[in-house]
Amino acid sequence: MCAYFLTEVVPDTSSLVVEISAAQTALQEGQRLSLSCTVDTQNQEKRFLSVAWLRGNVELARIGPTGVLSVGPDYSGRETEGELRAVRTGDRDYGLTLQPVRTEDQGEYICRAWPQDRSQDGAFTQGTPRDSSPQLISISATGQSILPDTYTYSRFNFPSFCVFYYLLKQNNDICLLPCLITESGLSVEMQPFGMVMEGARLKLTCKVTEVEGQLSVTWQHKSTSTTATPFTNVISLSQEGVTEIGGSFTSRKVRATRPAADTFTLELDEVTLSDSGVYQCAVSEWKTNSKTNSQSQAATVEVTPLDELVKVYLISRDNIVTVGENVHLLCRVRGPRVPITLTWSLQRDASTVDNILTVSSNGDISWSADQQGYQLKVENRETEVIHSLHINSASHREAGRYQCSVSVFLENAFKKLPPSNQLGVMVQNPVSKLVLTSPVTLTSNINTDIEVKCSVITNTSESSRYAVTWLHQQGPENKIIVSSDRDAQVTFGTQVEQSNRKRISMRQSKGPSFELTIRQTQISDNGSYKCEVVEWLQDPRGDWYQLSPVSKLIQLKVTEPENDLRLDAKEQQQLIARKGDEVEFKCNIISGASGPPFFYKVAWLYRNSSSFTSVPLLELDHTGLLRYPENQALRDLQGRLRLSRPTQSNFCLRIQRAHEWDSGTYQCQVEQYQLNNEDQWQQKASDKAGLITLTVNVTGEHFFEQQCQSGTWIGILVPLLICSLLVVFILVLKICRSKGVGEKKSGQSLWAEHPLKTKPSVDD
């Protein structure tokens, strides 16, 4: 019975506790030294550790955080010869065996453990080491070696057994050495075996000597090393060469062979973790179909899990890129070369994991998603296999957390090994180059239409689309007026009243420019207007994404013009006209607000000489409607009136075929109107021109035409006056000449005493 000695651990201030124990602390040369190391820490399954065994200050072996074994230089030769083995036997257990031991192997042994932190690129950082208490191991020598040619060998046969002894030649002493007394000389030696990787082939060899008959072999297995546990048959090979597989191994790939007369082998393919334990080679000697002797030897086999040997790391040098750039991901598989199936996966959100592709052990590739944009490359190196995933022209669709996972085909099923670390790939938007321009301030008269515009000077891409939002800020409130998405779909803000939606529109013109039109501006339209533009780009996969918004602020001031309506003629006028002529009155607006929002009503008032009250003669209202007020006495005059408006601010009233009863006083009256916020007409101002007194004469010796025809009459009267003066001048000149001729004559008189002749004479 083997006794185990436990060494207490010195309390540690950290959470790392290390213990060392030995199966035996007192050994002889050639025996087996077994040291177990137990490491306890918080979150054991998530921690990475390195564990080493040391004798004094000399390191025997170390198991790294990924399960890779490294041996100290003083023990590398013994590890090559199979004398030293170290393995991780559980989540917190580690074991080291040294066989055969030597006297120089005695001393104090300790276990040392280091916590290891792994970064995103898979590199490990070693923490502060923790040591166990020392374990003392003593090893004693078995005796002196007998040199060749210094002894003689003798054997005595008895009916059922034999005795061996050695006679030393030096002093003729008989030296009885420890030996196995058997019925025959059959001896069995099983080559020592340590660890085998999960999924690999287990091969055990058993050699026999001193064979006298036919041999059969039975290979047996039990999962523990305790003597109470029975062996179960794995496979047997009879003396006739017939194999028989044990019941629990019938579905396994197991073989028993005899490659040489003194050698038996057991081969078990695709070993599993349950195949760990003790294997026994039981050899039987047969004579005449009777078993004469049986010998057996055992060896302990430990199956190391693949997940302790195969490690997967995911790294990248460019996992933060801009849309359209390339991404390179490297999945590094380290450990023994076993056929694996590797899967690339992408997790875009907290719950969904999508497989991208799977590479089987025979090289076949199956795509689980859209393979556009992905390229795969496999590179074999001495210590690892690198699977590269290349993402061409990355888009937001490729952003997320990538992971590569490995599985092996064991026991007719795929066994998943621990996956790699997750590696986040971030795809960023390009920096926006959008620049806007707009006027800083705009001024508009009330009830006029105004256009607020902002334009793009520089954009990020010629194929950009734009989403535009117009906001109105009046005081602390900032409300959305109207917006359009990248497809030009227009939507009004929820705070915009239905009546105001009829006045507001927006459009996009070439440039591009974004125009907000406000019709019939009101005082409430005052304030700051923000033009907020979002630029949309299309990624390599055809998906649209938006950049950061850019905005411009425009100040709008709506003013109400002053009401200073004035007409030109304020003084009283006198007009004289002839009967039948056309008389014209002018009414001109010389100051006051003008423009589309203002409308004017013009009325002509009339009062005859016998009345003291003016009555409306005709009206042209602010809507353009001409009306003649009902008045029986004025019906004839109203029928001969003609009203015209040559310009926006000039009105002319004509009386055709004037009569003497048209005489009287005329006056022009103007009223200014404007629509208010409720679309109702509101009078803003009014003014009257001076009185015009019209006299229509029947004879018409002297008259003056009205103001609008004075130029024509002046053009007629001036030439007439000049002609009259010229005629008078000619007559005066003729008279003067006639006087001179009369004085030269004899003084004949023109009167009656000198009558004229009634009949002319011959002399005449």
Question: Contact at 8 Å (CB) between 365 and 374?
Answer: no
| Number of neighbours of residue 260 by Cβ within 10 angstroms | 11
Instruction: Give the separation between CA 667 and CA 222, rounded to whole angstroms.
Output: 133
Clarify whether residues 300 and 315 are in a common domain: no
User: What is residue 704's predicted lDDT score, i.e. its pLDDT?
Assistant: 43
| Number of neighbours of residue 211 by Cβ within 10 angstroms | 16
Clarify whether residues 424 and 464 are in a common domain: no
In a domain, 753, yes or no: no
In a domain, 455, yes or no: yes
Q: How many domains does the chain have?
A: 5
Task: Please tell me the pTM assigned to this model.
Answer: 0.52
User: What is residue 136's predicted lDDT score, i.e. its pLDDT?
Assistant: 93
Lowest-confidence pick of 79-83, 319-323, 566-570, 601-605: 79-83
The 10s digit of each residue's pLDDT in 403-453 is 999 998 877 788 888 999 999 999 999 999 999 999 999 998 888 899 999
User: 405, exposed or middle or buried, with CB in 10 Å at 0-12, 13-18, 19+?
Assistant: buried
Clarify whether residues 447 and 363 are in a common domain: no
User: What is residue 92's predicted lDDT score, i.e. its pLDDT?
Assistant: 86
Choosing from 304, 331, 352, the residue where a domain stops is 304
Clarify whether residues 299 and 335 are in a common domain: no
Classify the phi-psi angles of 572: left when phi > 0, otherwise alpha if psi is within -120 to 50, otherwise beta.
Answer: beta
Which amino acid is it at 347?
Q
Instruction: Give the separation between CA 545 and CA 560, rounded to whole angstroms.
Output: 45
User: What is residue 593's predicted lDDT score, i.e. its pLDDT?
Assistant: 55
User: What is residue 436's predicted lDDT score, i.e. its pLDDT?
Assistant: 95
Clarify whether residues 94 and 209 are in a common domain: no
Model confidence at 39, in pLDDT bands (50, 70, 90)?
very high
Closest by Cα among 182, 193, 621, 121 to 421 = 121
Which amino acid is it at 644?
S
| Number of neighbours of residue 430 by Cβ within 10 angstroms | 14
User: What is residue 167's predicted lDDT score, i.e. its pLDDT?
Assistant: 52
The 10s digit of each residue's pLDDT in 328-347 is 999 999 988 888 999 999 99
Instruction: Give the separation between CA 406 and CA 340, rounded to whole angstroms.
Output: 6
Alpha carbon separation from 579 to 655, 662, 665, 718 (Å, rounded): 11, 9, 17, 23
| Residue written as token pair 């937001």 | 396
In a domain, 667, yes or no: yes
The phi, psi pair for 696, rounded to 5°, reads: -110, 115
Q: What average pLDDT does the segment 222-230 reach?
A: 78
More confident residue, 486 or 213: 486
The 10s digit of each residue's pLDDT in 354-374 is 899 999 988 899 988 777 788
Cα 259 to chain centroid distance, Å, stands at 66
- Residues of the domain holding 484: 435-559
Instruction: Give the separation between CA 704 and CA 688, rounded to whole angstroms.
Output: 24
DSSP three-state, residue 760: coil
| Number of neighbours of residue 723 by Cβ within 10 angstroms | 10
DSSP three-state, residue 500: helix
Clarify whether residues 660 and 533 are in a common domain: no
Q: What average pLDDT does the segment 621-635 reach?
A: 88
The phi, psi pair for 698, rounded to 5°, reads: -80, -45
The 10s digit of each residue's pLDDT in 509-563 is 998 999 999 998 888 889 999 999 999 999 998 999 999 999 999 999 988 777 6
The percent of residues above 90 in pLDDT, for the chain, comes to 39
Clarify whether residues 440 and 481 are in a common domain: yes
User: What is residue 703's predicted lDDT score, i.e. its pLDDT?
Assistant: 43
More confident residue, 183 or 397: 397
The phi, psi pair for 150, rounded to 5°, reads: -110, 5
In a domain, 151, yes or no: no
The 10s digit of each residue's pLDDT in 703-732 is 444 444 555 556 677 778 888 888 888 888
In a domain, 49, yes or no: yes
Question: Which DSSP string do the residues of 218-242 spell out, in sequence order?
Answer: EEEEESS--TTSPPEEEEEE-TTS-
More confident residue, 740 or 325: 325
More confident residue, 746 or 471: 471
Q: What is the DSSP letter of 704?
A: B
In a domain, 479, yes or no: yes
Residue 291, pLDDT > 80, answer no
The 10s digit of each residue's pLDDT in 124-178 is 888 889 999 999 999 887 654 444 444 454 544 444 444 445 454 444 544 444 4
In a domain, 96, yes or no: yes
User: What is residue 486's predicted lDDT score, i.e. its pLDDT?
Assistant: 93
Instruction: Give the separation between CA 710 and CA 236, rounded to whole angstroms.
Output: 147
Clarify whether residues 607 and 701 are in a common domain: yes
Residue 681, pLDDT > 80, answer yes
Alpha carbon separation from 512 to 62, 107, 438 (Å, rounded): 70, 87, 12
User: What is residue 332's predicted lDDT score, i.e. its pLDDT?
Assistant: 94
Question: Contact at 8 Å (CB) between 299 and 99?
Answer: no
User: What is residue 763's predicted lDDT score, i.e. its pLDDT?
Assistant: 38
Residue 747, pLDDT > 50, answer no
In a domain, 755, yes or no: no
User: What is residue 753's predicted lDDT score, i.e. its pLDDT?
Assistant: 35
User: What is residue 207's predicted lDDT score, i.e. its pLDDT?
Assistant: 93
DSSP three-state, residue 384: strand
Residue 187, pLDDT > 90, answer no
Most confident of 6-10, 645-649, 681-685: 645-649
User: What is residue 529's predicted lDDT score, i.e. its pLDDT?
Assistant: 94
User: What is residue 177's predicted lDDT score, i.e. its pLDDT?
Assistant: 42
Question: Contact at 8 Å (CB) between 506 and 514?
Answer: yes
Model confidence at 10, in pLDDT bands (50, 70, 90)?
very low
Q: Residue 511: give its domain's CATH number.
A: 2.60.40.10
Instruction: Give the separation between CA 329 and CA 389, rounded to whole angstroms.
Output: 5
Residue 308, pLDDT > 90, answer no
Clarify whether residues 125 and 216 are in a common domain: no
Closest by Cα among 67, 112, 72 to 90 = 67
Clarify whether residues 584 and 651 are in a common domain: yes
Q: Locate 2 and state its tokens.
A: 């083997």
Choosing from 286, 304, 322, the residue where a domain stops is 304
Choosing from 304, 319, 336, the residue where a domain stops is 304
Clarify whether residues 356 and 460 are in a common domain: no
Q: What average pLDDT does the segment 19-38 reach?
A: 90
| Number of neighbours of residue 135 by Cβ within 10 angstroms | 23
Question: Contact at 8 Å (CB) between 61 and 97?
Answer: no
- Strands of 475-614, DSSP E: 477-484, 490-492, 504-509, 513-518, 527-538, 544-546, 550-559, 566-567, 573-578, 583-591, 599-607
Most confident of 92-106, 480-494, 577-591: 480-494
The 10s digit of each residue's pLDDT in 229-260 is 788 999 999 988 899 999 889 989 999 999 99
Mean pLDDT of the chain: 82
User: 670, exposed or middle or buried, with CB in 10 Å at 0-12, 13-18, 19+?
Assistant: buried
Which amino acid is it at 83?
E
The percent of residues above 70 in pLDDT, for the chain, comes to 85
Clarify whether residues 230 and 357 are in a common domain: no
Instruction: Give the separation between CA 245 and CA 232, rounded to whole angstroms.
Output: 11
Which residues face 283 on adjacent strands?
Answer: 217, 295
Q: What average pLDDT does the segment 213-223 reach?
A: 90
- Strands of 247-326, DSSP E: 254-260, 263-268, 277-287, 290-304, 311-316, 320-322
Which amino acid is it at 397?
R
